Amino acid sequence: MSRVRRMLPIFFLVLIAAISLLAPWIAPHDPLDAVTGQELRPPSAQFWLGTDLLGRDVYSRVLFGGRRTLTIALLALALAVGPGLLIGTLAGYVGGWFDQAVSVVIDALLAFPGLLLALSVIALLGSGSLAVGIAAGVAGLPAYARVARAAARDVRSRPYVEAARAIGATPRAILAAHILPNMLGTLLAFATVTLSWAILNAATLNFLGFGGDPAAPEWGTMLAEGRQAFRIAPWAVIAPGVAIMLTVLATNLVADSLAGRE
């Protein structure tokens, strides 16, 4: 049963990714097709999750919105994990003044809330999906670098690392053969957590209107549009909101599993 519980969130994430990729083939309607006279229709056989303010099919927009939200989140994950892993691992392994300098910068960045840091990046880059992805990635970078640094500091003090250093192994060889492989579990678990933050930050920035084209389906943008008619058409908000909630929940459950927690 424990194995089944661990596999369910992974299966759900794979399912969400597959549905988002296959949206052009499985969506029953064009997500941009505004049908006059079909505004704010409740869920029905024709429109499974109802329609929005412009008469667009909410179900189709949720499917297509997953593609955009997850693409932005994956870009943010790459920008957070890549530089964060490099900087944190080198700081933790090298130590000395380099570690101290990196720690000061990381602590300074962590003093800012992630969303505020992302908004600062948006102010420099402007709006658009690429800018949102970069902003969300920069927001997640300091935390990932901090975790990578802590993991590297822990592993470098292990006896097998000292033994490798004693027999003359180069720093590059030690990093490749001993440090990084023994950090893998921690790094994967926190990368999954970083992905959940990226999804939330991407949806939030799009909700605030920084995602560029407002007509393009995206979960955060759909929330912003649907709130205008929430009292009379709650399905326009509930559908993308549940999609975000379940995706983030599944991502966090995968992180717990990778970290060895039940």
* pLDDT above 70: percentage of residues in the chain: 97
pLDDT at 81: 94
Q: Quick one: average pLDDT of 3-19? A: 84
- Measured CA to CA in angstroms, residue 76 lies from 55, 91, 137 at distances of 32, 22, 4
pLDDT at 228: 85
Q: Which backbone phi and psi does 198 adopt, to 5 degrees?
A: -65, -40
Q: Are 55 and 34 in contact (CB under 8 A)?
A: yes
Identify the weakest region by mean pLDDT among 32-36, 57-61, 202-206: 32-36
pLDDT at 215: 84
Q: Quick one: average pLDDT of 7-11? A: 86
Segment 28-57, tens digit of pLDDT? 999 998 888 888 899 998 889 999 988 999
- Give the model's confidence band at 156: pLDDT under 50 very low, under 70 low, under 90 confident, else very high: confident
2-14+50-258 has which fold? MetI-like fold (1.10.3720)
Q: Are 145 and 87 in contact (CB under 8 A)?
A: yes
- Give the model's confidence band at 262: pLDDT under 50 very low, under 70 low, under 90 confident, else very high: very low
- Give the model's confidence band at 2: pLDDT under 50 very low, under 70 low, under 90 confident, else very high: low
Q: Quick one: average pLDDT of 229-241? A: 91
Segment 70-113, tens digit of pLDDT? 999 999 999 999 999 999 999 988 888 988 999 999 999 998 88
Surface-to-core class of residue 116, CB atoms within 10 Å of its CB (0-12 exposed, 13-18 middle, 19+ buried): exposed
Residues with Cβ < 8 Å from 29, sequence gap 6 or more? 47, 56, 57, 59, 60
Instruction: Calculate the average pLDDT of the chain.
Output: 89
The full set of domain ranges for the chain reads 2-14+50-258
Count Cα neighbours of 80 within 13 Å in the Cβ-side half-sphere: 34
Query: pTM for this one?
Result: 0.90
Q: Quick one: average pLDDT of 122-146? A: 93
Cβ atoms within 10 A of the Cβ of 216, count? Answer: 17
